[in-house]
Structure 1
Amino acid sequence: MMRTRLAAFLLFLTVATGAQAFTIEEIRIRGLDRIAEGTVLNYLPLEVGDEVDARASADAVEALFDTGFFDDVALLRDDDTLIIAVEERPAIARIEFVGNDAVASDRLREGLTAAGLGEGQSFDRSLLATIERELEQQYFALGYYDVGVESTVSPLPRNRISLRLDIEEGQPASVQPVRFIGNRDFDTDRLRDRFQMGPKPWWAFLSNRDKYSRERLSADLQRLRAFYRDRGYADFRIESTQVTISPDRQRIHITVNLDEGQQYTVGDIALAGDLIYPEEELRALLELNSGEIYNQRNITDTVEALRDKLGERGYAFARINPIPDLREAERIVDLTFFIDPADRVYVRRIRISGNETTRDDVIRTELRQYEGTWLSTSDLRESESRLGRLGFFSDVSIDTPRVPGTTDQVDVEVNATERLSGSLRAGVGFGSGEGVILNLGVEQDNVFGTGDRAEFVANSDDADTVYRLSYLERNFTMSGIDRRYALSFRDRDAGEADLADYGLKTTRASYGYRIPVTANDRVGADLTFEDVSLSFTDPTRIEQRFVDRNGTSNTNILADLSWTRDTRNSAVFPTRGGRQSTSLEVSLPGISDLEYYRLTYEQSRFFRLTDRFTLALDGTLSYGDAYGTGETLPFYDNFYAGGIRTVRGFELNSLGPRDENNDPTGGNVRALGRAEVRFPLAEDEEGNNLRLTSFIDAGQVWDREHEDLNGFTGISLSDVRYSAGVGLIYFSPIGPFTMSVAQPLNAESGDKKQPFQFTIGASF
C-alpha cells in the first residue's frame, strides 16, 4: 500500500511541478488480465477531452482503488495520452471448508459472500480477519463458543488463489439450569418452567432448548414478568441478569436477580377521557372487577375490547391507556382507563392484491367494509372471515394504512394468497373401508375466477360406482342468491360394503338455490327427481316387505330444504367460529311413489387453544321416517355409523342393528359426536395443508321401525360406542389423505373393530 501511494504521489508531483496540465486525447490501460477495459473506464472519472491536473489525478487514483479490484494503480503521461497502469488483485478461484460438521458449507459460503469474499471475487487479504470473525459469529449463534478458524491462501496460475478455511468446531455449550435470586413466593422449579431455555430432557435429543441466544433470553424474561403480573405482583421487577460461560466454554450459566414485590388486588376502576359510548356500555367490556387479584392479562384484554368497541364507530386508531395507581400500604391497585378516540376515520379506497385468478368483484362481494364509510373493525373481521370461508385462499390479511397527508382517511388493503382451488384427477386410491378407489374427476371451486364451482366425477370402489356432474353459480342474482344444478348416477353393490346383499341403481337430477338471509345464514331449496331400481339374490325379511309394498322400481320427487349458519374463519382447518346446519329431505306426496323424510342437524365448533392447537367439537343428529300409512323409511336410505368418517376404530357401517344374516342394516336414528385437537407439524406453506389430530369419537345407530332386528331397536344412550386415538389429515395435490389409529373404548361382543383406517384419494 505504501508503494502504491508513493507512485500516486510521484505522478501528482510530476503533474503539479514538472509539466503543465494537459487535455486527454487518448486513454490506454496496462496490466489488465481478468477485468475488462470497459469496467475500468466505467469507474474512471476521466474521459477523452477532460483536462488532467493534480486534483483530477488524485480523484482518478482514489476512484480506481475504491473499486477493490487493484493492489496498485499508477497514472502516466505520454504526450497527450493518459496511461493507466494497474496491478489486479488475485481472483478467488475456490473456497474450501474443512472440519465443519455442525454448519453446512453452503451456509458458510453464503456468509462469506455477504461479507465480500466469495468465489469469483477479488481477494483482499485485509478482509481475512473479518472473515474469520464472521464464521465464528455463525458458530456462536449455534452455541459453539470454543470454535477456532484458521485460513490458508494458496496461489494459483493466472493471478488466482485458493482459500482454505480449517474449522475446529469444538463442542456446543449448553445452558445450565437457570438460577433465580430473590424469589420468595414461587419456587425455582416453577419459575424455570416459564423459560424455554434450559437443559433439555434426555428424550428430546432433537431439541435446541439448551442453546443460548440473546433473543430467546429476552423472550423468557418477558414470560417471567407476565407470570408474576398475571398473579397480582404489579410492582415485580427484574433487577439484573448475568450470563457467564465456563472456562472450558462448554456451559452457559444464567442468573436472574428479581424483586417479587407484593401481591395486589384491584381497587377502584375508572373510565376517563372521551368515552364516545355511554359509560355503562363500556364497563360491560371490562375483564376485571374490584376486589379481584390484579391480573395484567385481563388489563390487556380490556384494552383490546375497548379499542375494538370504538373501532366499530370509525375510531380505528383509538388509544386506550391503562394507568395504575399503587397503594402499597393497602396492596391495592386503582386503575384508570384513559380513552383517547383520536380522529374518526373513513375508508377512501379498497385495494385488492394477490388474486391472480379470483376476480375483484368476487372478493368485494364478501367484504362488509365499503368505500366512503366509517372504518369498522367488526366489519373488517367479518370480511376476513367470509373470505376465508370461500376456500379459495390459503391466507387472507387486511391492512388499513393511513392516507398520506391526512388524519381521517385510510385505505383498506386486502391481500389474498390463492390456494389451488381446482384439480384434474385421474388415479387410484385405497380406503380401509372402501377398498380400491378408482377416480377420474375435474373439479374447480373458482371457475375462471368467478367463484362458481363446477364438478365432474367418475368414482368407483368395491361397493359403489358414481358419476356426477354439478355446477354452482355463485351470486346468480344481485342479491347474492346462488343457483345449483346437478346430475348423478350411482350403482351400489351393498354386499361389497359388508351390508345386506342387494343391488341399487339411482339416477338423480336436481335444481335449486342458496339464499342469504343474514351475513352468516343461508337457506337452501332444491327439487330433485330420483329414479331407483333394486335387485336381490336372497332378500332379507326387511327387504322383502319393502318390495312387497313398493316393488323394485320407484320414482320420487324430493324437496330438500336446508339452513346453514357459518361463522368459521376458514373453510380449511378453521381455528375459530362454527358451522351448524339443518336439512330436511322429503318426498312430495301424490307425485312420488314413496312417502318419507330424512332430517339431519349438524354442528361444528372451533376454539383456538394456542397459536398452534385448535379444539374442534362436532355433533350430528339424524332421524328418518315415513309419513304414509304402513310405510317405512326405505332401507337403502338408512343412516349408518362406524368407520373413519363417523366412529373411528370400528369397521365401516358396522354399528347398529343387524338382520337375520347378521349384516348391518343401519337405522332411522343416528347420533354422532367428536372432540378433536388439531395442530400443524410445520409452520411453512406445506404445513398449512397438514394436521395431526388427537380425538375421541362417539356414535350409534338405532332402528325404531322394525322389531325383528338383532338389537338397537330402542334408543338408549348406553348403546353409544366410544373410541379414542390419533390421526392425520393432509390435503395433498392428488386429493385428501386421512389416517387414524383408534382404540374402541367400550366395544362389546359382536362389534367389528378396525384400529387402523385410512383413505387416499377422494370417494363419494
Structure 2
Amino acid sequence: MTRSQFIGALLLCLTVGLCQSAWGQSLTLRGGQQSQMQQVLPEVVKIELGGVERVDAAAIRALLRTKTGQTLKPALVTADVHRIFEMGLFDDVRVGYKRKGDGVVLRFQVLERASIAAVRLQGHDALSTEAVMKVVSLKTNSLYKPAEAQDNANKIRELYVEEGYFLATVTPEVQRLKGNQVLVRFVIRERAEIKVRAIEILGNQGIADGDIKAVLRTREGSFMSLFGKDGTFKRETLETDLQVIQYLYLTKGYIQAKVEEPVVSLSPDMRYVRISIRVNEGPRFRVGKVSVKGDSQVDIAKLQKKLKLQTGDWFNYVHVQSDGQMLSGAQKRFGYAFATVSNESLPKTGGKVVDWVYHVQKGDKVYFGEIKMVGAATTRDKVIRRELQFAEGELYNESKLKISKIRVQRLGFFEKVEIKTKPSKKRRVVDVVVRVKERTTGTFQVGAGFSSVDNFITTAQISKDNFLGRGQRLSVNASFSSIRTMFQGSFFEPYFLDSNVTFALELYNFQQLFTDFTRNSLGGSLSWGYRFIRELHLDFTYNLEQVSTSIGGLSGRADVPIASLFNSGLTSSVRMTLTYDSRNDRMVPTSGWFAQASAEFANPVLLSENVFNRYTGRVRRYFPMPLNGVLKFNLVWGQITAPTGQNVPLFERFFVGGIFNIRGFQRNTLGPAIGVPSSGDPAAILSPFNIGGTRQLYLNNEFELPLLKAPVNLRGLLFFDIGNAFGENQDLSIQNMRMSFGWGIRWFSPVGPLRFEWGIPLDPQPGEDPLVFAFTIGNSF
C-alpha cells in the first residue's frame, strides 16, 4: 500500500469508525451507538512516535498540529503526515491509533532514511580518485537520498565529458549495510576518448587555415596525441574556439565577419570526429576618422594623441581594447571609479573604411570606504595596511590599487594577493577587500643532507620571516659541513617604531675552507637604515669581527711561504648601502629591477687592524615571458683596495667559480693564481695558489620555465655566464673573461628550494672539467 492509499484508508476508518487499529482494537463511538449517520469523534489522549533513532523527536513534535486534549481531526492528521514526510529525513511515514478509554492514542510510525557509510568509485581508470571525488557532494554519515546520488552521477559524467569521454556512463549503486546504513558506489564505464580526426575551415580567404588553427585550443590528433590529451574533442573548448576565431578576424580588420555553428561528424566506430567551421568574412576595413566624445575629466585632445587606433591602419580590435582601458583609466585616476567607455562604429557607405567613436562617461566621483583584510590569520593588519597607497576617505584611484597589490605581494609573506572593490551602503563610496593567502614563513629544521658544494651537511635552523605577524625577520641557525662551520643569529625590523627607519642586528661565528686556506671569523653587525620610498632604501652598517686565517683549506697545503697575504686581526668597518628594489615578489620575482651599490671602509680610525676599502655593485633585471617563463640577468662588480705599500688581506679578496657565481667551473677556482712551492723546501715544485682578485665582474643570464606546477613546483632553466676575478695588474677586458653555458632544474621542495645545475665551460683550460654538475639548497638570484 502506498502512503497516499494508506492515508485515504485511515481517513475512511476514522470517519465511519470501522477500522481496526494498528494494535488490533477498534474505535468505539460514544454512547455505544454504532451509527453511520451521526458520530462523535474521540479525543486524542496521547501522541507517540515510532521508528525514531537519529532524528530529534522534539523537531518532529514541533511540526505536529494535532495536540493531546484535542478532538481527533482526520484532515489535521493528514497534514501532519505530510509535514513529517517533507522534512526529507524519512523514506516512509504512517499513522495508526488504539483506543484508550473514551479517547485514542495516535502513533506516527516513521522509517528513517539510511545514512551513508562510505562512497566508492569503480572503473575510473582515466581519471584519479581525487579528481572525480572533487565533484561528488555525498558525505559520509549524511542521509542517503536517491535523487542526490543521481545528481552526483550526472556531475561525474559531466566531468568525463569535459575530459573528452563523451560515451562514458555513470550509474549509482546502493548496497544495504547493518545499522540502517548504505554503501554508495558509482560504477563508471569510461569507454574511449573521442579524438579530433580533422578540422576543416570553410569560407576563409583573408586568413589562412594554418593561422586560424594556430589559435585554436582544439587540435587535430597526431601521433603524440596517443600519449596525451592533445587532439581530444571537448565541446566546451570548441565553443570557446569559435569566439577565438571571431576575435582573430576582428584583429585583422574583418569587423563584419561571422563564424557559423560548427558541424561535428562522429565516425561510425564513435572514436573520432571531423569538425567543419564556416566563416563569412565580409570585407576588410581600414580605420577612418577616430574621435573621442563625452564628459572626460582629462582634456580630450590629450587623450586623442594617446590612441593606438589610427587613421589609415587596418582595423584592429586589440587597439580598441587598449584605448578603452587607457580612456577609462584616465578617469579613474581622478576618482571616477565607475567610468565607462563605449564604442560606436560607422562604416562608410560603399567603401571599406570605418569611422570609430569612443564615448566616455566618467560618472560620479567615488571615495574609498572601509578597507577589510581577509585571510591574514597570523599577519597583523598594520603589516598589510602600511603597504597600501590609499586610505579610508581618500578619493578613488585605480593606480594606487595596482601599486598596493604589488607592494603587499613583495612582502613575500603571501602566496596570493587580491585587492578588489565592492559597493558600499553609502552613496559614492566603494569598500576595499584585501584578500591574501598566507604562505609558510617559518621553519624549524634539524637534519642532514648532501650538496656538491658542502658535501655532507648537518643543519639546525629556526627562522621566521613574519615574526609574530609583525613583518619582522628572526633567524637562528647552525650548520656543519666539510667546508664550513657556521653559527648565526639575525633580526630585522623593516618599520622601526612604525616609521620608515629600519633596524638589523646580526651575530655570527664562521669557519670556512677555501681551496688553499681557512678563514675563521667571530663578530657581528648593527644596521640602521631609512626608506625614502618603498623602492629606495639607504643603510648604514657597522661591522666588527675578529678574523684569522691559516694555510691549508681544501687542498691540505702546509708551510707555504706567502705570509704577507695571511693577515689576521680585528676588522672594524662602516658600510653604506643604497638599494633600489622594484621586484614584484621578493622571494620569487618575475618582473622588475634590483640594484644595489655599497662602499665599505675598514680604517685605523675605527681601530681596525685589517685596512681596506671595498666597493661593490649589482644590478638584476627580470622579464616575464610566455608560458610563465622568466628571463633574468644578474650583473655583479666589485673592487677592493689597500693603502699604498700594503696588501689586500687574502680573506677579503674576490673568489669566483661555482654554482653561486660563474657556473661550469669548480668552486673558487677562477681568478689570479701565483706559483708557490708545495712546501718550505727551496727545491720544491711550484704549484698554483689561488689568491683571489682585487676586482670582480660577472654576468649571469637565465631563462627559467615551469615544468610541473604546484604541488610539485619543478622549474627548468638554461643559462649563460661570463666573468672572472682580476688581480691588480690584470686588464678588466673581454679577453680575460671566462664563459660557460648549461641547464638545470629547480625544485621548490618542502624543505626549501633545491638547485641542480650542469655547466659546460667554453674554451676549457688544462685541468678543468668539461662538464661540472653542482647542486645546493637555496635560491638563485
Query: Shorter-chain TM-score category?
Result: 0.7 to 0.9
Shift, 1:582, TM fit: 1.2
**Distance change >3 Å, CA 91–CA 656, structure 1 → 2:** closer
Matched ranges for 1:331-730 at <5 A: 331-406=352-427, 408-494=428-514, 499=515, 501-536=516-551, 543-546=562-565, 552-588=567-603, 590-591=605-606, 592-610=608-626, 612-626=628-642, 628-660=643-675, 661-681=687-707, 683-684=709-710, 686=711, 690-706=713-729, 713-730=730-747
When the two structures are aligned, how many residues end up with a matched partner?
A: 740
Q: Of 115, 125, 128, which aligns to 1:101?
A: 125
Could you list the runs of 5+ residues in structure 2 that have no partner in the other structure?
Answer: 18-38, 676-686
**Distance change >3 Å, CA 181–CA 636, structure 1 → 2:** same
Q: Which amino acid aligns with 1:351?
A: K
**Distance change >3 Å, CA 108–CA 21, structure 1 → 2:** farther
SS of aligned partner of 2:423: coil
Shift, 1:481, TM fit: 0.5
Shift, 1:168, TM fit: 4.2
Q: Of 747, 765, 768, which aligns to 1:751?
A: 768
Shift, 1:178, TM fit: 1.9
Instruction: Please identify, of 425-434 and 161-170, the stretch whose mean Cα deviation from structure 2 is larger.
Output: 161-170
Identity %: 25
Shift, 1:395, TM fit: 1.9
SS of aligned partner of 2:623: strand
**Distance change >3 Å, CA 109–CA 57, structure 1 → 2:** farther
Preserved CA contact (<8 Å) 2:95 2:106: no
SS of aligned partner of 2:238: helix
Preserved CA contact (<8 Å) 2:216 2:241: yes
- Aligned partners of 2:116, 2:342: CA distance in 1, in Å? 59
- Aligned partners of 2:133, 2:561: CA distance in 1, in Å? 76
SS of aligned partner of 1:177: strand
Shift, 1:743, TM fit: 3.5
**Distance change >3 Å, CA 648–CA 229, structure 1 → 2:** farther
Shift, 1:369, TM fit: 0.9
- Aligned partners of 1:107, 1:226: CA distance in 2, in Å? 33
Q: Which amino acid aligns with 1:667?
A: G
**Distance change >3 Å, CA 342–CA 533, structure 1 → 2:** same
Preserved CA contact (<8 Å) 1:314 1:345: yes
Instruction: Please identify, of 214-223 and 374-383, the stretch whose mean Cα deviation from structure 2 is larger.
Output: 214-223
- Aligned partners of 1:166, 1:476: CA distance in 2, in Å? 62
Shift, 1:644, TM fit: 1.7
Preserved CA contact (<8 Å) 1:476 1:483: yes
- Aligned partners of 1:214, 1:279: CA distance in 2, in Å? 45
Alignment of 1:263 with 2:296, yes or no, is no
Instruction: Please identify, of 40-49 and 51-60, the stretch whose mean Cα deviation from structure 2 is larger.
Output: 40-49
**Distance change >3 Å, CA 151–CA 398, structure 1 → 2:** closer
Q: 1:233-255: per-residue Cα shift (whole Å, max 9, x none)?
A: 23222122233433432223322
Q: Which amino acid aligns with 1:468?
A: Q
2:36 match = none
Shift, 1:95, TM fit: 7.5
2:245 match = 224
Preserved CA contact (<8 Å) 1:175 1:212: yes
Shift, 1:506, TM fit: 2.2
Shift, 1:740, TM fit: 1.8
- Aligned partners of 1:748, 1:328: CA distance in 2, in Å? 75
Q: Which amino acid aligns with 1:605?
A: R
- Aligned partners of 2:309, 2:660: CA distance in 1, in Å? 43
Alignment of 1:303 with 2:324, yes or no, is yes
Preserved CA contact (<8 Å) 1:353 1:416: yes
- Aligned partners of 1:165, 1:735: CA distance in 2, in Å? 40
Q: 1:262-303: per-residue Cα shift (whole Å, max 9, x none)?
A: 333333222211221233543454334333332222222222
- Aligned partners of 2:507, 2:149: CA distance in 1, in Å? 74
Shift, 1:347, TM fit: 1.4
Q: Which amino acid aligns with 2:482?
A: D
1:709 match = none
Preserved CA contact (<8 Å) 1:433 1:651: no
Matched ranges for 1:49-448 at <5 A: 49=69, 52-66=72-86, 67=88, 69-71=90-92, 73-76=94-97, 78=99, 79-85=103-109, 99-102=123-126, 114=138, 121=143, 136-147=157-168, 168-203=189-224, 205=226, 207-327=228-348, 329-406=350-427, 408-448=428-468
Q: 1:170-207: per-residue Cα shift (whole Å, max 9, x none)?
A: 32222332221111123323322212222344335553
**Distance change >3 Å, CA 639–CA 460, structure 1 → 2:** same
Shift, 1:502, TM fit: 2.1
Shift, 1:412, TM fit: 2.1
Could you list the runs of 5+ residues in structure 1 that have no partner in the other structure?
Answer: 707-712
Q: 1:380-403: per-residue Cα shift (whole Å, max 9, x none)?
A: 222222222222222222112121
Preserved CA contact (<8 Å) 2:197 2:221: no
Instruction: Please identify, of 371-380 and 635-644, the stretch whose mean Cα deviation from structure 2 is larger.
Output: 635-644
Preserved CA contact (<8 Å) 1:734 1:761: no
Preserved CA contact (<8 Å) 1:528 1:559: yes
Preserved CA contact (<8 Å) 1:173 1:211: yes
SS of aligned partner of 1:740: strand
Q: 1:80-127: per-residue Cα shift (whole Å, max 9, x none)?
A: 32233556778888887655534567877887765x9x8885576x99
Instruction: Please identify, of 409-418 and 131-140, the stretch whose mean Cα deviation from structure 2 is larger.
Output: 131-140
Instruction: Please identify, of 462-471 and 94-103, the stretch whose mean Cα deviation from structure 2 is larger.
Output: 94-103
Q: Which amino acid aligns with 1:577?
A: G
- Aligned partners of 1:201, 1:293: CA distance in 2, in Å? 36
Give the structure, 1 or 2, with the largest relative contact order (CA under 8 Å, sep 6 or more). 1
Q: 1:414-466: per-residue Cα shift (whole Å, max 9, x none)?
A: 22222222222322232212222222222222222222222223223322222
Shift, 1:26, TM fit: 1.0
Structural RMSD (CA): 3.6
Instruction: Please identify, of 198-207 and 387-396, the stretch whose mean Cα deviation from structure 2 is larger.
Output: 198-207
Q: Which amino acid aligns with 1:729?
A: R
Preserved CA contact (<8 Å) 1:428 1:761: no
- Aligned partners of 1:533, 1:418: CA distance in 2, in Å? 43
Q: 1:33-54: per-residue Cα shift (whole Å, max 9, x none)?
A: 9878667546655443455424
Q: Which has the larger radius of gyration?
A: 2
Q: Which amino acid aligns with 1:270?
A: S
SS of aligned partner of 2:326: helix
1:7 match = 6
Instruction: Please identify, of 577-586 and 629-638, the stretch whose mean Cα deviation from structure 2 is larger.
Output: 629-638
Preserved CA contact (<8 Å) 1:508 1:531: yes
- Aligned partners of 1:135, 1:736: CA distance in 2, in Å? 37
Shift, 1:761, TM fit: 6.6
Preserved CA contact (<8 Å) 1:651 1:753: no
**Distance change >3 Å, CA 281–CA 644, structure 1 → 2:** farther
**Distance change >3 Å, CA 91–CA 419, structure 1 → 2:** closer
- Aligned partners of 1:582, 1:465: CA distance in 2, in Å? 29
Instruction: Please identify, of 220-229 and 281-290, the stretch whose mean Cα deviation from structure 2 is larger.
Output: 281-290
Preserved CA contact (<8 Å) 2:200 2:275: yes
